[in-house]
Amino acid sequence: MQTAPVWPLRGLEANLPDQVAALAAAIRGEGSRLATSDTLPGRVALLFVVRTSRNLDAVAHLSRAGFAADSVGIVRAILEDTVALAYLADEPEARAEAWATFAEKRAATSVASAGPPDGGAWWSGMGPTKMAKKLRGRHRQIGDELLTVYWRLCDDTHGSPLSATHYVAPPLEEGRLPQLLAGPSSHRVAELSALGSICATRLCSVAEELGVLLDLEVIIECATAAMGPYNAGRST
């Protein structure tokens, strides 16, 4: 029988926010100092890494407060950044330059036309799904992963009818109405901690290719701990 999500966090899930925060700290490195090669692709990658570590901390804070399910938009942002950085890494010099100059061009075009330029808010002129389909070589797996889960993260972020079930728990007794999950609960904490962690690890791997100095061994170790309860739940 299914049970309603509980609060406060219990068992393996009780440690998950700290494990996600530990991953964020591992990404930032000792003393929260990060370094990179003195190249434009390296500097762009460094910004993506910092953003990812902060996003993981946000997921951890929401999970502690009982609102892990509402961190789905943040996890989606980590996945989008992972794909965007992998796309940049396929042609680092030219695409880093496109990334660096996009904001100025977009601002100028928006003022002139009272709207965003072609391609909307994406520096590449393509959204994450199109970028994912164009990834090559060792980055192809990142694209395949996005195409597998991205649509559902978008549904959840946008309040699609498909996401409504995440706010309803099955009744514990026959004849009772389903429970609406309007307050703190543990639902989705393991799932979103795991997904955010694996995406962050993928992003860090690409960032290292571009020159960011990271300890991937420690990062993978922390990510594995943060994914443990989710993997355990899927195997039972």
The model's pTM = 0.91
pLDDT of amino acid 1: 36
Say what the pLDDT of residue 111 is. Answer: 57
* Tally of domains within the chain: 1
Q: Examine residue 70 and state whether it is found in any structural domain, yes or no.
A: yes
Structure tokens at 32: 């929260």
Radius of gyration of the chain (CA): 19
Residues 6 or more apart from 76 whose CB is under 8 A from it? Answer: 150, 153, 154, 156, 157
Q: Which domain holds residue 140?
A: 11-116+127-168+185-235
CB of 179 closer than 8 Å to CB of 4? yes
Q: Indicate whether 88 belongs to any domain.
A: yes
Confidence at residue 2, expressed as pLDDT on a 0 to 100 scale? 45
Q: Is residue 143 part of a domain?
A: yes
Any domain includes 158: yes
Asked, for residue 56, whether it belongs to a domain, the answer is yes
Q: Answer yes or no: is 177 within a domain.
A: no
Classify residue 152: in a domain, yes or no.
Answer: yes
* b/e burial code for range 79-102 (CB count within 10 A of at least 16 → b): bbbbbbbbbbbbebeebbeebeeb
User: 116 falls in which pLDDT band (50, 70, 90)?
Assistant: low
Angle between helices 72-90 and 140-158 (to 10 degrees): 150
List, for residues 160-214, the tens digit of each pLDDT value: 998 888 888 888 788 888 888 888 999 899 999 999 999 999 999 999 999 999 9
Q: State the helix-helix crossing angle for 72-90 and 40-64, rounded to 10 degrees.
A: 170
- In this predicted structure, the answer to whether residue 119 has a pLDDT above a threshold of 60 is no
Percent of the chain's residues with pLDDT above 90 = 69
Instruction: Give the other-Cβ count within 10 Å of 225's Cβ.
Output: 18
Above 80 in pLDDT, residue 97?
Answer: yes
* Angle, in degrees to the nearest 10, between helices 16-28 and 40-64: 160
174 found inside a domain: no
